[in-house]
Amino acid sequence: MNRNRSKLVAFAGLVIAVVVLVVAMVGGGSLTTQSTTPAPGSTAASPAAAVTNPAAASPAVDNPSTLPSINASQLPKEARQTLALIAKGGPYPYDRDGVNFGNFEGLLPKKSGGFYKEYTVPTPGESDRGARRIIVGKDSAKYYTPDHYESFMFIVEGK
């Protein structure tokens, strides 16, 4: 039963990734973040904007991987809430939040031990932590996995 559930969750994650790709291609959008540098004389986003959109508080990071990208605004509500907690530095609802993520699957860019930290994205209806996580690198790159590390998407913040 648990194995079938894992397969179903993995399939759902794949479907979500395909839908995101199709929407971006049809809508003419880009799935990769573009580096933006403020024009001379312009000001950066106001502190009020960071409060309204906690993900905007983090500096934009270019995708350091070959993984597909997803805009933070397209993530499930619970993932956006976890991003806000990460930006605030906690407190986190699970004692395993903020622990080292080993990248044993090898799907994220190869880095030394202790480079990545993991955070739980609660799943409604689950009695435990569920399968969803956000992984954060020391380079501030963030990744979302809907299927407990079977697949990842790079999170484009501020969009």
The catalytic residues are 118, 148
Instruction: Name the E strands within 11-132.
Output: 69-71, 99-101, 116-120
Q: Which two tokens stand for residue 66?
A: 């070959």
Please give the angle made by the CA atoms of 73, 118 and 137, to the nearest 5 degrees: 80
Instruction: Give the burial class of 82: count Cβ atoms within 10 A of its Cβ; 0-12 exposed, 13-18 middle, 19 or more buried.
Output: buried
- Give Rg (Cα) of the chain: 16
Joined together, the tokens standing for residue 16 give: 């979500």
Contacts of residue 134, defined as CB under 8 A and 6 or more positions apart, other chains included, come to 79, 82, 83, 86, 118, 119, 121, 142, 143, 144, 145, 155
